[in-house]
Chain A
Amino acid sequence: MASRAFVRRSIGLALIVGAVVAQSFAGFFTQELIAEAAILAIFALSLDLLATCGLISFGHAGLLGIGCYVFAGLTVLAGGSPNLAFPVAIVSGGAVAFMVGLFAVRTTGAFFIMVTLAVAEMLYAWGFRSKMFNGADGMGGIPRIDLTAVGIDLNNPGTFALTVIVVCAVIWLLLELVVASPFGRTLAAIRQNPSRVAALGGHVYFYRLAAFTASGMVAALAGAFKVQHINFISPDLVSWFVSGDVLIAVVIGGIGTLVGGPLGATLLVLLKETLSSNLGHWYLFLGMIFAFVALLMPKGIVGYLLDLNDRLAARKRPSECRQTERAT
């Protein structure tokens, strides 16, 4: 019987291998798509990390946006090195998430959704009016990280795509370790029953704040890649459409499974591309497809596969399945 963790990790491995292979055969256009999907995948991982402790954010584009604006600001406006701007952007995302989290993670459910949405909309409004960043018209000329010293040219679209895939894979592996750690298990316990964690002496607020901060760092990392990739920044990157897209990716892939986010992100990017180039009202069709998937698999694709695996195992060894079941 394959354990749930084994199934999740196999899917992740398949995704990585698939992306790397596809990237190596792809032309410019597909490479750009793969990079886009990989960036959305990182963003989705950051959202799912937060979902591990039961918090759903509908303003995650705000944290992505911190990464975008800090990276663009430091490189284009301040003329700083992109290699320095990148870590600063990540830390900024963590710092902003920490400060917002001080208030936000006191709330849960619909309130948390509202608070995160409000904060993201504030950044959007600021970006819209910001003269520095050329407001709604946006600003171009954003450089990419310079790794020529180690023989990597990120201005090559294939290399850039491959790099983002590798970074995404590393983040995924790190998060796999985190969710299997005592800290990650406590987050999962908080998702199931926060009041009991408190009764056992766990600082629920501290754990949620830590998860939100880490999530902010990963989201900002995705944002810093995003502006490098499209070589452009505008408030559209912070709009609630972006928050919605990443939420859809995670829900379709399977919330709380980590690997579901990247899977959903890949499907979302590929479907968007196929539909928009062939159909008129493509967003409508996209919505219909996702509504259909959500109806068919309420726990998302990975959630569905995990349950299927459990059922198959139960059929194979009806007497033993309950004893050996591990809920991860």
Chain B
Amino acid sequence: MIALETRSLCKSFGSLAVTQDVSLAFEVGWRYAIIGPNGAGKTTYFNLLAGNLRPDAGSILFSGRDITRLDVTSRARVGIARSFQRNNLFPDFTVRDNLALACALRAGTARVFWRPMRQLTSAHAEADDLAAQVGLTEVLGTAVRHLSYGSQRQLEVALALACKPQVLLLDEPTSGMSPEETSRMRVLIADIPRTLTVIVVEHDMDIVLDFADRIIVLDYGRVLEQGTPAEIRASEVVRERYLGKSALGYSGGHAP
């Protein structure tokens, strides 16, 4: 069953074609990694999927339904959640307030104006659980602007999880994290239930090869290659254009 699909998706910024005829289908419950050099159009593709950008051409289908015209809010409500490459949080709120608000927005209790926020016990319990999941329990009461960069990255992912999505888009979740934070995030991503479809943009090939069922290689806005980790490792084109020397270690025996 296909959770999310793009058909001939195109997007240009002026004369710069950043997404060129991208047709991809994401199976329910599978893990995908999108890799590609800087400026390949990975974040732009996420922006198109999540509704932050309108495609110039092509369509996006969610469970077979055309969602190309839906805005960000509606796509979030449909079940697409994302984390951002650049931290995109509520800096004046504490970690708990960030998460509780996200839970309230998802649960539809955010419109309540006749009761204090703190009475939303389920949203707060959920917030505490999410914080524990990503490793933020100790800083629950800290305002986000005082948080370390790595903790902000963790919160970035936790906010996306708070949406209880069907499709989860993570844009470089481990960038700027310490080794400990990175390994925790790896475990977290590995533990995401198989009912969710997960698409991750990631530069760390270790993580990508370990986690992904399928890898998609973007280059100049085009799908250069897609396949299982083994296939991608074996691909001549990919090795030439993207993996380079640093990743050759993973291509077992193919090193020149």
Contact = CB atoms under 8 A, between A and B. Distances in A.
Nearest to A214: B113
A189 B116 contact: no
A180 B71 CA distance: 28
Interface stretch (B11-19, B103-111, B128-136): B103-111
Contacts of A7: none
A202 interface: yes
B142 A203 contact: no
Contacts of A323: 139, 141-142
A195 B92 contact: no
B207 to A, nearest CB: 23
B116 A181 contact: yes
B100 to A, nearest CB: 8
Most chain B CB neighbours (cut-off 10 Å) among A180, A181, A201, A325: A201
B22 to A, nearest CB: 21
B141 A202 contact: no
A281 interface: no
Contacts of B89: 193, 196
B89 to A, nearest CB: 7
Contacts of A195: 52, 72, 88
Interface in B198-235: none
A181 B162 contact: no
Nearest to A195: B88
B71 A178 contact: no
A109 B146 CA distance: 27
A207 to B, nearest CB: 8
Given A195-B88, A196-B88, A200-B163, A189 B93 contact: yes
Contact of A182 (B71, B104, B141): B104
Interface residues of B, number: 43
Contacts of A199: 50, 52, 72, 76, 81-82, 84, 88
A197 interface: yes
A326 B143 CA distance: 7
Nearest to A323: B141
B254 interface: no
Interface string B74-104: 0011000110100011111110010001101
Contacts of A201: 73, 76-77, 105-106, 163
Contacts of B97: 185, 327
B112 A182 contact: yes
B80 to A, nearest CB: 9
B159 interface: yes
Given A195-B72, A200-B163, A323-B142, A186 B93 contact: no
Contacts of B143: 322, 325-327
Contacts of B101: 182, 185-186, 189, 200
B96 to A, nearest CB: 9
A223 interface: no
Interface in A304-328: 322-327
A322 B95 CA distance: 12
Contacts of A254: none
A177 interface: yes
Contact of B110 (A183, A196, A322): A183
A183 B50 contact: no
Contacts of B114: 177, 181
A186 B142 contact: no
A288 interface: no
A179 to B, nearest CB: 9
B120 interface: yes
A238 to B, nearest CB: 29
B253 to A, nearest CB: 43
A182 B113 contact: yes
Contacts of B245: none
A25 B89 CA distance: 50
A204 interface: yes
A201 B50 CA distance: 11
Given A202-B105, A324-B141, A192 B112 contact: no
Given A182-B110, A200-B101, 15 more contacts: A177-B116, A185-B101, A185-B117, A195-B52, A198-B73, A199-B88, A200-B102, A200-B163, A203-B73, A322-B143, A322-B146, A325-B142, A325-B146, A327-B94, A327-B143
Top 6 nearest A-B pairs (CB, nearest first) are A201-B76, A183-B113, A198-B72, A327-B92, A327-B143, A181-B113
Interface of B: 50, 52, 71-73, 76-77, 81-82, 84, 88-94, 97, 101-102, 104-106, 109-118, 120, 123, 139, 141-143, 146, 159, 162-163
27 contacts: A178-B113, A180-B116, A181-B113, A181-B117, A182-B101, A182-B109, A185-B93, A185-B110, A188-B92, A192-B90, A193-B89, A193-B91, A195-B72, A198-B72, A199-B76, A200-B102, A200-B105, A200-B106, A201-B73, A201-B77, A201-B163, A322-B146, A323-B141, A325-B142, A326-B94, A327-B94, A327-B97
Interface of A: 177-178, 180-186, 188-189, 192-193, 195-204, 322-327
